[in-house]
A and B are shown apart, each in its own frame.
Chain A
Amino acid sequence: DAGITQSPRHKVTETGTPVTLRCHQTENHRYMYWYRQDPGHGLRLIHYSYGVKDTDKGEVSDGYSVSRSKTEDFLLTLESATSSQTSVYFCAISEPGQAGSGNTIYFGEGSWLTVV
């Protein structure tokens, strides 16, 4: 158990509505990530954070925003949900390591989002 809690675990929402997914960690890890997983595409990075208030875009960031006001919480917001954002969303955490040992990345259990 990597000490990661995602909420909500399942959500159905309507097109055009805002949605926020929350990732909470108890490990005090510096780095946090949001991925989405889709058939035929695998896991793709949406946004990541390398510290409080420090975030950057990943491969598929369009339509998503993130915020990190505390070490333990990383929020993913869909400002206006679209059907193409129906997916499984995974939060992940890691801690910087020494050269040669790197940083291992641990995943949460996922949030299933359906946009109708």
Chain B
Amino acid sequence: QKEVEQDPGPLSVPEGAIVSLNCTYSNSAFQYFMWYRQYSRKGPELLMYTYSSGNKEDGRFTAQVDKSSKYISLFIRDSQPSDSATYLCAMTLGGADGLTFGKGTHLIIQP
């Protein structure tokens, strides 16, 4: 069964705060984990990509994967109003297999 759980929010935080977004999943065969950002009426934009367990950092963004717990996280440091969007976690077995998405978390950064 492919199932990904993600809190839809909305999550509202003040500008400059550290944001933590999370997903849990049930299929232990997932190998590749991604975070997408989606602005209103736009396509999802790839933010972070991680293979297997571990951490990956890119600027203000850090992605963590804990395969033993089937839990992935995205941290945003020094959050900005422009970070306000819906954040989608996604994962795949690899190869031609498509992505299985969480339902997305609506994030609001208050100026």
User: CA A69 – CA B43 in complex, angstroms?
Assistant: 25
Contact residue among A40, A104, A109 (Cβ-Cβ distance under 8 Å from B103): A40
> What is B's interface to A at a CB cutoff of 8 Å?
2, 31-32, 34, 36, 41-46, 49, 51-52, 88, 90, 92, 94-96, 98-104
> In the complex, what's the smallest C-beta–C-beta distance from B50 to chain A, in angstroms?
9
Q: How far is the CA of A48 from the CA of B100 in the complex (A)?
A: 13
A residues 91-105 in Cβ contact with B at 8 Å: 92, 96, 99-105
Report the minimum CB–CB distance from B72 to chain A (whole Å): 15
A50 at the interface (CB under 8 A from B): yes
Task: Report the nearest A residue to B32, measured CB to CB.
Answer: A102
CB-based nearest A residue for B89: A42
Looking at the complex, which one of A40, A96, A106, A109 makes contact with B95 (CB distance below 8 Å)? A96
Interchain CA distance A99-B31 in the complex, whole Å:
10
| A31 CA to B103 CA, complexed, in Å | 23
Least Cβ distance of A20 to chain B in Å? 20
Q: Does A74 contact B (CB under 8 A)?
A: no
Determine the distance from Cα of A59 to Cα of B99 in the docked complex, in whole angstroms.
11
The answer to whether A110 and B42 touch (CB under 8 A), given A102-B32, A104-B49, is yes
The answer to whether A45 and B98 touch across the interface, beta carbons within 8 angstroms, is yes
The answer to whether B43 touches A42 (Cβ under 8 A) is: no
Q: What A residues does B44 contact at CB under 8 A?
A: 43, 90, 107
